[in-house]
Amino acid sequence: MEDHSVCSTEVPAGNKASFRETSLSGHESHVPRFSHMICIINFLCFSSAVLEAIENVIQDVLKSLAQKKAPVLTLANRSDWRNIEFKDSVGLQMIPHCTTKQIRSDCPRSAPKFALMLKILSVIYKMVQSNTYATKRDIYYSDTLLFGSQNVVDNVINDISCMLKIPRRSLHILSTAKGFVAGNLSYTEEDGTKVNCTCGATAVTVPSNVQGIKNLISHAKFMLIVEKDATFQRLLDDDFCNKLSPCIMITGRGIPDLNTRLLVRKLWDSFQIPIFTLMDADPHGVEIMCIYKYGSVSMSFEAHHLTVPSIKWLGLLPSDLERLNIRKDVLIPFTKQDQNKLASIQKRPYIACQPMWKKELEIMAASKLKAEIQVLTSLSSDYLSRVYLPNKLQFGGWL
């Protein structure tokens, strides 16, 4: 589904009238503690702000109709690098006054998206009012014929979040959990369920509502973000979390979903321990590491909640391949797509402030070869957990 042309014209907001009457039904059988009351007040205030933001959008639509004008929705160009600035302490964030595009109701190309946005806004409004939640998948399956694909729903939800300037989780929309966490960590979920992530043969699924977890406890000395599930599981099997020193391991199983990124940020805020990444030595692995560290262009409007600029690149470094005398026949030649991806990464603003990263990317570009983490098994089956990671962590082999 395509958007209409870029336009920065917006309809003046005017005076907003409220569509609702606020009421509080149901009473506790006891007097809640003061802290609990504060939480309730904060929740009600924020819920009211979300409802008001949606009402303002609908008010503008009704105002346009009353003036016999075609209603439009104005969105920031989330994928345009011209709307992005880099700050070393935050990562990629959207600039305050960015270029916008209009989703018009009178244009055949954009009218379907206009309708979908109003539909999902109504779903969000009802959920916030009733304090209920739904996953993006729930919303898609509520009317598959209308939405067409899950990707359409995902994009519309992100556009709404950006338009309202409200984090997606505050819109009562959750993501289906994708990532795993294991190691020296325990916490309590929003419903009171106690979770213990002590390293074992199996990992714990990243919670779907990271914002709601509390009572986080850990004695971990560091956190390790692993790109791939296969590597993550191998480290679990090798009992890596306990052999060297207590740690927390997380994997987004490839490109991380929002929940995994939120959890990494929450753990960083809670414990302030070093965070290292273990990625393939290829452009795709570097891209994934950059998402954790600096964020993505499409989600730059939420950078302050998602990025952890202190993350370090532990491995697999391109320079490690020569240092460890990895045989050329187990390396993989670059594709044209790899070359284009690497060239794109090298031009990004954060590479300029990372001279050691820049050097590693130059080594990768010159060799035109890439390697998966599993290449270390060519040295020995347990080389990763027995030699590579312990040496790197002990002697400071990170960037």
Give catalytic residue positions.
141
| Pairing verdict, β 275-278 and 312-315 | parallel
- How many helices (H) and strands (E) would you count in the chain? 15, 17
Buried b or exposed e, range 94-113, using 16+ CB within 10 angstroms: beeebebbbbbbebeebebb
Give 301-304's long-range contacts (Cβ < 8 A, gap of 24+). Answer: 301/76, 301/78, 301/93, 301/94, 301/161, 301/162, 301/165, 302/161, 302/167, 302/168, 303/90, 303/91, 303/92, 303/93, 303/94, 304/90, 304/93
Which pair of tokens denotes residue 388? Answer: 């590579």
Rounded to an integer, what distance in angstroms lies between the CA atom of residue 86 and that of residue 92? 5
- DSSP element (H, E) containing 45: helix 34-66
What tokens were used for 7? 């336009």
